């Protein structure tokens, strides 16, 4: 990111209010077993984000969107595995109206408190959700999706544009357009079916799942994302686009969608997507997804670029450096996803260092020079990159600039570029399509290098003061 540039349930008796039914205690329920799934996974910055008690493997989202009125009708089928015996479980949803819900085909009681939906499982033996069981929950919903303001003041969620809308999700905006387990620690595959007025295009992650189909003045687009994806990386852009499709020698699909108003100025940089993907694969390991590309909207359609999985989003024509940064996130953040939002520097520090490497190899600017520039920038020393003071600071300068300085110091400690790039490729291989924490990273680096780097971590990753540049 760049801020700078399935419940089983008998039909409820009509005499019982929905809220009371959802909150019945096990002792009063005629034999309910299990316990509620947690409402939140206690992320250090977003404690209510995500949910406990289950793990999602697949989302099938179907949307019918009216861009003129900025409304939608939607449904999501969630396939998940219970990680405990469940009496109820939660989903995250910001705004929108829940019209109905089922689990394993049975009507589910739904209670809502703010952005938390609680779905209550069935009381009888046949309807219980047991640990290890795979289940399917379907939620149907409608309304006007909302724009969410982050703690740092930036906007995400559902962003209306002149010719449609764009959905961006970091860190919590995806809950504005579909219910789910919206924490990066729960990744899943996705299928998205979107119907829009004829003449508009709906672009999302992954590969097209068949050609668009038009009927009665409305066109349906289908997108398939096979590899695990954190919900904050899911995107949807609706509008008028110039689209191009090609295939890399590796078989990876390249799909780009550019707003006609910025197509001419974007063309040269967007055409470099295959080149940049190949260069980064050489340095960071095999490209981790079956598709790549870019979505380029108008400059005023969002306040930042974002590393949406397989197809980064840009407001206006990107520079080569910004394209390198967001594409690097396909390895650092999208494939290897942070365990919590405290680990954000693993995304941004490594993507920023990718920019430094590009400038070193393509523009004759040594990474040491980029390091010195970052070192002299006072903004990079506001706090340690691995310990932002609050949710409002997880995308501040130290996460990027000082995060990249940590990577440069690792490179200096290794003192061998071949070994350093092998280290990066090993990292993306070990945690490919998974989650990793800062502790995982420091342990991995020390094990791979055979060195005690505790001094480096203390000074550069966690230290409160500015160490000597050559320290």
Query: 190, 209, 448: which is closest to 308 by C-alpha?
Result: 190
- Tell me the pLDDT band of 20, cut-offs 50, 70 and 90: very low
- pLDDT higher than threshold 70 for residue 29: no
Mean of the pLDDT values across residues 277-300?
98
- Find the distance separating the first CA and the last CA of the chain, reported in whole Å: 29
pLDDT at site 9: 28
> φ and ψ at 296, to 5 degrees?
-120, 115
| 324: preceding bond cis by omega (within 30 degrees) | no
Specify the residue for token string 């594409």: 327
- Tell me the pLDDT band of 34, cut-offs 50, 70 and 90: confident
Burial of 456-467, coded b for 16+ CB within 10 Å and e otherwise, reads: bbebbbebeeee
Specify the residue for token string 């470099």: 272
CA-based R_g, the chain, Å = 23
Count the residues in the chain: 471
Largest CA distance in the chain: 75
pLDDT digit string, tens, across residues 411-435: 999 999 999 999 999 999 999 999 9
Mean of the pLDDT values across residues 260-274?
98
Alpha carbon distance 252, 266 (integer Å): 22
pLDDT at site 122: 66
pLDDT digit string, tens, across residues 77-126: 999 999 999 999 999 999 999 999 999 999 999 999 999 999 997 655 55
């Amino acid at each position: 990111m760049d801020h700078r540039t399935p419940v089983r349930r008998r039909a409820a008796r009509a005499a019982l209010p929905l809220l009371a039914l959802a909150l019945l205690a096990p002792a009063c329920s005629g034999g309910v077993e299990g316990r509620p799934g947690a409402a939140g996974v206690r992320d250090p910055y977003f404690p209510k984000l995500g949910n406990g008690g289950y793990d999602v493997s697949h989302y099938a989202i179907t949307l019918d969107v009216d861009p003129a009125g900025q409304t939608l009708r939607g449904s999501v089928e969630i396939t998940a595995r219970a990680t405990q015996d469940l009496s109820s479980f939660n989903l995250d949803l910001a705004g929108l109206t829940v019209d109905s819900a089922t689990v394993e085909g049975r009507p589910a009681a739904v209670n809502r408190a703010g952005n938390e939906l609680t779905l209550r499982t069935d009381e009888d033996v046949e309807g219980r959700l047991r640990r290890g069981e795979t289940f399917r929950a379907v939620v149907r919903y409608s309304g006007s999706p909302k724009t969410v303001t982050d703690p740092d003041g930036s906007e995400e969620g559902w962003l209306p544009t002149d010719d449609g809308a764009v959905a961006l999700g970091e860190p919590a905006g995806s809950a504005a357009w579909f219910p789910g387990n919206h924490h990066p620690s729960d990744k899943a595959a996705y299928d998205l079916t979107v119907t829009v007025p004829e003449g508009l295009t709906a672009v999302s992650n992954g590969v097209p799942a068949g050609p668009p189909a038009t009927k009665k003045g409305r066109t349906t687009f289908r997108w398939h994302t096979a590899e695990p994806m954190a919900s904050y990386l899911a995107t949807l852009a609706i509008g008028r686009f110039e689209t191009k499709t090609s295939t890399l020698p590796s078989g990876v699909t390249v799909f780009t969608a550019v707003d006609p108003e910025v197509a001419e100025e974007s063309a040269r940089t967007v055409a470099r997507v295959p080149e940049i993907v190949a260069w980064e694969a050489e340095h960071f390991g095999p490209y981790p997804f079956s598709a790549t590309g870019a979505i380029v909207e108008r400059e005023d359609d969002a306040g930042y670029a974002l590393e949406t999985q397989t197809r980064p989003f840009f407001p206006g024509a990107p520079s080569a450096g910004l394209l390198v940064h967001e594409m690097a996130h396909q390895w650092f953040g999208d494939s290897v996803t942070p365990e919590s939002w405290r680990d954000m520097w693993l995304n941004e520090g490594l993507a920023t260092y990718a920019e430094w490497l590009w400038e070193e190899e393509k523009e004759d600017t040594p990474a040491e020079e980029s390091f010195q520039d970052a070192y002299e920038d006072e903004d990079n020393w506001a706090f340690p990159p691995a310990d932002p003071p609050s949710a409002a600071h997880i995308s501040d300068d130290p996460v990027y600039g000082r995060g990249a300085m940590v990577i440069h110091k690792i490179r200096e400690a290794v003192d061998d570029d071949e070994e350093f790039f092998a280290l990066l490729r090993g990292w993306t291989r070990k945690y490919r399509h998974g989650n990793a924490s800062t502790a995982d990273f420091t342990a991995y680096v020390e094990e791979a290098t055979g060195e005690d780097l505790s001094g480096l971590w203390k000074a550069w990753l966690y230290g409160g003061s500015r160490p000597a540049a050559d320290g």
